[in-house]
Amino acid sequence: MSERKVNFNPGPAALPLDVLKTVQSELLDFQGSGMSILESSHRAKEFEAVNDRAIELVREVLGLSADYHVLFMGGGASTQFALIPMNFVGEGQTAAYVDTGSFANKAMKEAQNITNVHVAFNGKEEKYRRMPAMDDIKYPSDAAYVHICSNNTIEGTQFHQFPNTGNVPLVADMSSDIASRQLDYSQFSLIYAGAQKNLGPSGVTLVIVRDDFLATARKDVPTILSHKTHADNKSLYNTPPVFGIYIMKLVLDWIQSNGGLAGVEKLNAAKKDLLYGAIDSAPDFYKGAAEKAARSWMNVTMRLPDEELEARFVADAKKEGILGIKGHRSVGGIRFSIYNAVTLADIQKTVDFMDKFRKSA
């Protein structure tokens, strides 16, 4: 086998090597069943046990109480952009959206196709370089919910403190930072995340919804598009994304065996300190793209003095086995997506490369 690369892909992204090895070892014969998990029925006891344990693990790892439903849905986070306003904005109500980045904006635009939207914060005019202070976020007290994106994957900014919305439910797109740090997850009424960054492969979307919020859901939504349908059926109303759920379970096992979110957070802190440290130590050459206070622990974005140097940086990194660092096509520059499965050794190798590249440029 060729050597595995340093993988900074933004999603689908690096998975823990131990998880991939388990998948490989179980692929042809899942736990003595004589078939792979891909081939067994979603109603078979083998899969049901995986599904049940994955639900339990989400609760254990995130520290959620029993009044949260854990759903595994299809369609990616983008489908939730539509399903959330469809399900949770009542007749004549308004939903509030905090616009801190490209995906937050997409979620808001989709909601505008469906319902009344109040813009609770507009970061677009400042090119999404900073995050709002808590009192910059304004919304009507009778809003159906306040929607935020906890980590802005493209811009490399992140909420490090969350608004206290009191009686107004707080809804978060955590696609790019779920399970990366310790948080009071109980401040959210609903959380959703495409799995393909921190939790597993693409094709499964984790949705966590608290019972009191689910009770407010509309009844006039098509069965398959209703969160309640999936909550009432442990995500087995129809055929779920079985392989994704299985891998998510393995990733959650891996998080638990690495000290849970406390262990993961410690490692992620060391990773981002090393990488931002390298950027800040050469300010005439590397420039962090986001305002310092807003910097993401998951997506580290930076610029070089010009685009030609950026292109060379990407090409030279590739020769060293460092991949997936070209910034999103909408913003350019360089982006290192340093999700949970990226190791400290990967970052050290990258920092060494950055130093060498700068000196040779």
Nearest to 200 by CA among 146, 258, 243: 243
Of 77, 120, 298, 300, which one interacts with ligand PMP (CB under 6 A)? 77
Q: List phi, psi (to 5°) of 337.
A: -95, 110
Among 78, 122, 229, 348, binds ligand PMP (CB under 6 A): 78
Bridge pairing between strands 6-7 and 170-173:
unpaired
200 binds ligand PMP (CB under 6 A): no
**Selected binder of ligand PMP within 176, 189, 296, 301 (CB under 6 A):** 176
In angstroms, the CA 74 to CA 79 distance is 8
Nearer of residues 8 and 103 to ligand PMP, judged by Cβ: 103
The answer to the question of residue 11 lying near ligand PMP (CB under 6 A) is yes
> Which residue in the set 12, 74, 76, 260 belongs to the binding site for ligand PMP (CB under 6 A)?
76
Gyration radius of the chain's alpha carbons: 21
Count of C-beta atoms within a 10 Å radius of residue 174: 27
Of all residues in the shown chain, the one whose CB is closest to ligand PMP is: 76
Residue 301: phi and psi, rounded to 5, are -110, 140
> Using the rule CB under 6 A, which residue among 13, 55, 131, 149 binds ligand PMP?
149
144 sits near ligand PMP (criterion: CB under 6 A): no
Q: How far is the CB of 147 from ligand PMP (least distance, A)?
A: 11
Does 235 help bind ligand PMP (rule: CB under 6 A)? no
Question: Is residue 175 within 8 Å of residue 192, measured between CB atoms?
Answer: yes
Binding to ligand PMP, residues 280-339 (CB under 6 A): none
Burial 113-142 (b: 16+ CB within 10 A, else e): eebebeebbebeeeebebbbeeeebebeee
Please report whether residue 191 would count as binding ligand PMP according to CB under 6 A: no
Which residues contact ligand PMP (rule: CB under 6 A)? 11, 76-78, 103, 149, 153, 173, 175-176, 194
